[in-house]
Amino acid sequence: MSQVLTDLHFAGYSEGSTGSKKLVSNKSHAVICCMFHNEKTPSLSINLQGTYYKCFGCGASGPYRDLQQIMLPDLYSKNGEGVNKARAHSLNMVSSANTLRNLTTNSQSAHKLMEGMGRLREFESNQNIMVPWDNEWRGLSDKYLNLLGSRIWTSRELEVNGDELIDVQRAYFPFKHPRYDFTIGYAARNLQDDIYPMQPKYRNSTLIGTKEILYMMNIIPPKCPIVIVEGAMDAAKLCYHSIPAVGSLGTNQWDSFKSRLILSKRPTLVLAMGDGDEAGQKFNYKLGQELQPYLGDKFRHFELRDGLDPGAFNDEHINHVWQVINDLTDGRLMELSKNGTENFLFKNPEQVQQAILGTE
């Protein structure tokens, strides 16, 4: 239990007006460090009703009862037969679930617990864990980034090829369940590639697995062209410029479920746009295999030059892609954006937040 609550959004910190910190939780799941593959990785999600657990790092899953046997072995060491002992054991199970639930919903208890984690104490007292944007990033305005729920996340991570904890700033993008109305995960990109080039560029964490997630899918209207890109930041960049795009969250994260999500929108055009590298070419080829049998000539792919990705597009790239899509769809983008005067994807900010983040 000493390792509970070290991840953000599911259980993170926000700065109060007096400088105090309080717990932020989506009230449905808690994330703790996984004891199955890496005790320093907060990736084991527990349903707060005490019914099941799942690690979105190593894939371990099962009933919450099994997890309690590992976390609280003393409850099971002398669990003899008999009705009275069975009843006592059942009460202990309920009490343990309530304790975990209280830790994740009671900000004071959670704050004390996190303060007791020695190696993080100095970090927590001197820095915010997650703060809103106050400047643009890669051509995206701070207002737009904050609308998406994005934050600058100072992530404490184990140094690659070392045993030191380091503070890495990442751009954090949360997303909701594809069918239900609550946030289930995030994608995060390293903002300090020049300082920590060996740290993972991306960190994606979800409850149900990224093969069921298409970032930005919930804001794409039906009968509309759709661009499929690799990353969440790539999709955010294109949508910012009124180009309907969804992020697959990886080059190897495509399956039939995502194909059905795309086809359910009855798109007028689907354009695969992997990064300008070998993995991006394989990404385009995979999407062609999955979607072209259903879409025919409504499926196209866009090959980028070496080293280029949609998240790094400048105005010239954006204008070219926009014009190509508009031409291939007989002016559909021009029609949707009222001759290029508005971003039809973000006409109602409240609806956008609801579609991307769900109910907090």
CA distance 73 to 292: 53
**Which of 18, 50, 75 delimits the end of a domain?**
75
Same domain, 266 and 304: yes
Whether 253 maps to a domain, the answer reads: yes
Same domain, 195 and 253: no
Half-sphere exposure of 135 (CA within 13 A, CB side): 3
Same domain, 204 and 141: yes
Half-sphere exposure of 350 (CA within 13 A, CB side): 0
Confidence of residue 100 (pLDDT cuts 50, 70, 90): low
Same domain, 51 and 15: yes
Task: Please tell me the predicted confidence (pLDDT) of residue 69.
Answer: 62
Same domain, 255 and 207: no
Q: Is the pTM higher than 0.75?
A: no
Same domain, 106 and 207: yes
- Containing structural domain, residue 66: 3-75
Whether 344 maps to a domain, the answer reads: yes
Task: Please tell me the predicted confidence (pLDDT) of residue 10.
Answer: 33
Instruction: Determine the 3-state secondary structure of 215 from DSSP.
Output: strand
Whether 168 maps to a domain, the answer reads: yes
Same domain, 261 and 172: no
Same domain, 112 and 168: yes
Kindly report, residue by residue over 22-78, the tens digit of the pLDDT. Answer: 333 445 667 777 767 665 556 777 776 667 777 877 777 887 667 666 655 444 444
Residue 180, number of CB atoms within 10 A of its CB: 11
Whether 140 maps to a domain, the answer reads: yes
**Which of 42, 75, 108 delimits the end of a domain?**
75
Kindly report, residue by residue over 297-335, the tens digit of the pLDDT. Answer: 999 998 898 889 998 899 999 999 999 999 999 998 998
Report which of residues 271 and 92 the model is more confident about. Answer: 271
**Which of 52, 75, 98 delimits the end of a domain?**
75
Among residues of the chain, what percentage have pLDDT more than 70? 68
Report which of residues 7 and 235 the model is more confident about. Answer: 235
Same domain, 35 and 108: no
Same domain, 207 and 101: yes
Whether 13 maps to a domain, the answer reads: yes
Q: Give every CB contact of residue 156 below 8 A, 6+ residues apart in sequence.
A: 120, 123, 165, 166, 167, 168
Same domain, 103 and 140: yes
Q: In whole angstroms, how large is the CA radius of gyration of the chain?
A: 22
Task: Please tell me the predicted confidence (pLDDT) of residue 198.
Answer: 86
Average predicted confidence (pLDDT) for the chain: 75
Report which of residues 121 and 335 the model is more confident about. Answer: 335
Could you tell me the CATH number of the domain that includes residue 277? 3.40.1360.10
Task: Please tell me the predicted confidence (pLDDT) of residue 7.
Answer: 31
Confidence of residue 19 (pLDDT cuts 50, 70, 90): very low
The count of structural domains within the chain is 3
Whether 360 maps to a domain, the answer reads: no
Whether 220 maps to a domain, the answer reads: no
Whether 245 and 217 have beta carbons less than 8 Å apart is answered as no
Whether 359 maps to a domain, the answer reads: no
Task: Please tell me the predicted confidence (pLDDT) of residue 99.
Answer: 60
121-125, 147-151, 211-215, 267-271: range with lowest mean pLDDT? 121-125
Same domain, 57 and 98: no
CA distance 235 to 250: 12
